[in-house]
Amino acid sequence: MSQREEMRSLIELKRALERDMGISIDMDRFGVKQRLLRLAQASGSPEVAALARRLEAPAADAPAPEAGETRRIRGYYRGRPIFDD
């Protein structure tokens, strides 16, 4: 799942939780994904549960590194990995 798709899914889940539970969720804080998933467990709504499952599913389109092809991550810049080349 790309970053754009993940953000769209998070926003959909946020809006569904706000409708279902009648609360306001601040998206400007860190850990939004974890908070939304915890609230989705407490909600009990089938729509919210479906959106949460879509976010929790592992990324199927991300290519898995092959046995001999592992790249070492040196650090991160603006959330993106910097690899040792």
Residue 18 lies in a domain: yes
**In this structure, is residue 74 part of a structural domain?**
no
Per-residue pLDDT tens listing for the chain (85 residues) = 788 888 898 889 989 999 988 888 887 777 888 888 888 888 888 898 888 888 887 655 555 556 556 778 888 888 788 887 6
Backbone dihedral region of 3: left (phi > 0), alpha (psi from -120 to 50 degrees) or beta?
alpha
pTM, to two decimals: 0.57
Domain containing residue 29: 3-62
Q: Is 77 domain-assigned?
A: no
Q: How far is CA 27 from the centre of its chain?
A: 13
Number of domains in the chain: 1
